[in-house]
Amino acid sequence: MGRIATAPPGLRRNLKERPRRLRRNAALRALVRETRLSPSQLILPLFVTSGHDRDEPIASLPGHSRLSTDRAVAVARDIAKVGVGGVILFGIPDAKDGEGRAASDPDGPVANTLRALRDSGLPLALAADVCLCEYTTHGHCGVIVDGDVDNDATLPIISEAAVVYAEAGADIVGPSGMMDGQVAAIREALDGSGHTQTAILAYSSKAASAFYGPFREAAGSAPAFGDRRGYQMDFANGREALREMELDVREGADMLMVKPALTSLDLLARARQRFDVPLAAYHVSGEVAMIEAAAAKGWIDRRSAALESLTAIARAGADVILTYFAADAARWLQE
């Protein structure tokens, strides 16, 4: 090191390859940028409730709220203006039960909001998450039989919910409960009810993760007993993640998702090589909350950290990114 510092000015090495040539100014860097984010590839998660003019802020997700249908439509209108690609709806029901029946209520918050969004004519892709955890008293993603989440007993219930959302106007349904055979069951139910055009975004590789904390606060969906490791994946497993994706492709998934995003970049890269269907990544609540918290303390630059995260997710292979930063990122990308 010392030698370089004391080298006489003007001494130049005969380097043929100098990658820095294309980093010299902003125009050159823009020209050769490999990964370009577009607002149209971003999906904003929305938590929807009953009622009117309701807006209950979610403390751990600054800028996000539980919204009644009218307020959700207002947000959708704003984000459509800046080119965000779509929304995915999560329902907060008025009442829960053991079987999560409210998930398939045709007058529940998700179905109502889907109809309102459909009627609004906004140019957004409309997705609905399909899972029971927001709707069950115990907070698990399926029905409980003999103290455990019963896979096959859950399938008809989530299939019914998917049909209700398709009926209400969803372009995409996203089963997130990690039940075996959920994609096949939902595809069959959709086709059987005439919804052959409704696409399935499979949460294929969803890890039992510590990064869902803020979401569970928002949705009131933390499990009342035990945890989700009996159905969500062990985050240590990569080959198993690929196998889950393979199964979902065979069951008829139109798109595959990995989740959380930043802890699954290797899975995205491997999936990109192996599958030709569109790939999505869910930049989950805890990933966003970490940036928000650090930014609030002045320890990190919020905008740069958010855009760097989203760009890395796209670089790894994601076509579609579900992110709480969708609205802000779309605005930043337009500047």
The residues annotated as belonging to the active site are: 206, 259
As a whole number of angstroms, the distance between CA 91 and CA 129 comes to: 8
Do 292 and 332 form a contact (C-beta atoms < 8 A)? no
Residues making up the chain, counted from first to last: 335
Task: Tell me: does residue 275 bind ligand PBG (CB under 6 A).
Answer: no
Do 201 and 172 form a contact (C-beta atoms < 8 A)? yes
Please work out, in degrees rounded to the nearest 5, the angle formed at the alpha carbon of residue 126 by the alpha carbons of 122 and 130: 160
Which has the closest alpha carbon to 318: 269, 252, 249?
Answer: 269
- Taking the complex as a whole, the smallest distance from the CB of residue 219 to ligand PBG amounts, in Å, to 7
- Taking the complex as a whole, the smallest distance from the CB of residue 165 to ligand PBG amounts, in Å, to 14
Q: Which residue's CB is nearer to ligand PBG, number 198 or number 221?
A: 221
Of the candidate residues 47, 135, 165, 212, the single one contacting ligand PBG (CB under 6 A): 212
- Close Cβ partners of 88 (under 8 Å, ≥ 6 residues apart): 43, 44, 45, 46, 127, 128, 129, 172, 174, 322
Q: Which residue's CB is nearer to ligand PBG, number 60 or number 120?
A: 60
Using DSSP's 3-state secondary structure scheme, residue 174 falls into strand
- Taking the complex as a whole, the smallest distance from the CB of residue 270 to ligand PBG amounts, in Å, to 22
Task: Tell me: does residue 231 bind ligand PBG (CB under 6 A).
Answer: no
Q: Distances in Å between the alpha carbon of 34 and those of 48, 263, 310, 314?
A: 37, 22, 14, 10
Site for ligand PBG in 110-129 (CB under 6 A): 129
Task: Tell me: does residue 285 bind ligand PBG (CB under 6 A).
Answer: yes
- Taking the complex as a whole, the smallest distance from the CB of residue 212 to ligand PBG amounts, in Å, to 4
Q: Which residue's CB is nearer to ligand PBG, number 104 or number 221?
A: 221
Site for ligand PBG in 132-191 (CB under 6 A): 133, 141, 176
Interface ranges with ligand PBG (CB under 6 A): 129, 131, 133, 141, 176, 212, 215-216, 221, 284-285
